[in-house]
Structure 1
Amino acid sequence: MKMCFLIPSVASGGIEIYLLRFLRFLKDASEITVIVRNSDKGELYHEYLETGVHLKFLPLGYVNPLKIWRHYHYYKQQKFDVICDFNANFAGIPMFLGSILNIPKRISFYRQGTNHFQPGLIRNWVNRLMKWLVYRNATNILSNSQAALEFFFHDRSINDHRFEVLYNGFNFQDFEIVESKSEIRRELNIPVDSFVIGHIGRYDKAKNHEAILKVFQEIIREGLNCTLVLCGRDTEKLIPALKELGLEDKAIILGYRNDVPFVLKGLDCFLFPSITEGQPNALIEAMISGIPIVSSNIPSIKECVPKQVEKFLSTPSDTESHVRAILNIVNNVEDFKIPVEHLRMFESEVNFGLFKRILYGK
């Protein structure tokens, strides 16, 4: 069965990491093509190649006739049986092309909590058109959270069985790190005796790094001996802000790393005040690692944490509540423990197994 996935890039984003994990779960990806909708080689380029997929850089844009024609010609030439696009409403064009080419299975997989563009008259019109094309032409419309599905298709019919929520999948064995917390801190040049607050995520407005720095500044003022660890693509861009706040000596910028479970084990607390998420990979990884979390209370996050932890969530900009929660962790970490049974909802065998059955019709 010839299968095609479309992703925005091969940089270290949530979509790209999800698909990479799924390809590794499949083990044999020789009949799979991954189309990258831009022309840049990101951090995950070589890891994608190692899975055995055919990697094709084929920019699409939004309403570019020449690029649309190139996609049409490529799909027709390859004779795909399945096409799956992870670009939210902007899967509309591939879904439409797949329909007129009679590709049997056309899947649009929504993996973001809101639209990722600044609203405007033309952009809003194009967005509505793309969403309509998805709705009219997709055989399956998936999402990684109920919250995301409600945002994009709140008016869907309950009898429309194309809609389905598939949670992110994680191999729990990846989080069995043999090194001790002290050994990890020494390797990463983190003070061994410090209370370490960490965040993992690319430098992006949605990740709310501004709030992270404000919270950390207030924690320092409380007199706590602590260190801030920031891990993710382009996080070095935060260095000027750290210097301006006088926090550069208390913060460690790791940049992009492909050993997130290793980094997580070196933390005492995971701070995650995101403004928007589809389903938060990094937050779930922290929970699997057993790290106490302090997070925003947006719907997609509330959906993936246990009820007993919800009371510690607060609005993304509520610095005071985040500070109070971190101080509570210092004094009583047991209140923030995540039950192991709750985490089973994110096991790769279950969630990737469901996705595989949808793709292959088994």
Structure 2
Amino acid sequence: MDFSLSEDQRAFADMAQSLFADFCTDEKLREHDTSGQPFMQQLWQQCVAAGLHSIVVPESAGGLGLGMTELLAVLEQQGKALAQVPLWQQQVAVAAMAQFAAHAEGVDGVVQAAMDGGLIAVSLESVVASRGAPLMLKGHKLNGSLHAVALGAQADVALVAAGGEDGRNQLVLVSLKAAGVERIPGMREDYCAVADLHFASTPVLAVLSGNALEWVSERAIASLASLQQGATQEQLRRTVEYVTERQQFGRPIGTFQLVQGQMADGYILAQAQRTALYQLVWRLDQSLPCAPQAHCVRAQSNELGLKVSRVAQHVHGGMGVDVTYPMHRFMFWGRALAVELGSAEHHLEALGQWLADNDNLGWKYDLPEDR
């Protein structure tokens, strides 16, 4: 298999790398951490100016009309830089509205505002678990709560998953300035602003049709995994650099067998997740079914982020927990990414259920495994 990016895809990655390098040095990340700002707003403006917020948005909606592979190339660079901007949330939400709610009244205005840099909060919480009062859609009114929604206090609208009267979850678009909305702001450990959202008979702007929820969920999983892949690659690079310089007992600690084994385990995990991620992204771009691949990637990403972060913290010793040293941010990002869209256990259970429901796969039935 050739996992190399094409020349055009590499150009997106190089442009993103250059842009993030200007705004995401360790010193500037430290400034953001202590600033209390909800996200890197100046960097976000530059991303909008460069069109990085519109990669998968259809041309009919003002975007570039490209695929998830191009977005993956950018998100990996974002993860390496720990750039706190809502790149995937904005364009996946706009692409979903363009495909599943193109003719709904008021959606055009939301799409145009997002293409100009306006914020859309995205929450798929009810897909995985409901904490507190579940978010329910009755008629065209929302009731219930969502917790720790990224940029929920800054966005004007939100794309959220809610349980319908028929028991099925579906995606709805709601104005966060409408009657019956209460927002309680906070800050996530990776220094991204979040908010608890409470809805009391709040009118919705649109209900997205068809399989919109599945469509968004699979792309959200691929996006989060791309961020995790980038963050892990950079974390491993920095850790290897550290253990080749840090000396104990008269020699670099990277020469110790235990440290070498831990670094090798992290590398193997990263490569395994990368293989599964690239398969998922390719299948998304080919419009192939992706349910089991998405569950697999999500479970792998959770394991990858948490395990590598712990190992990196451990081999850095006291330096790893010093908040003036950059390594702690990778731990914060790993934990923040791991709590979005459900735990590894949730997705492994969902994968097992999918396999139980599709037990006619495999060589003995001589059937293609992608159907």
Regarding TM over 0.5, the answer is no
TM-score by length of 1: 0.26
Which structure: greater helix fraction?
Answer: 2
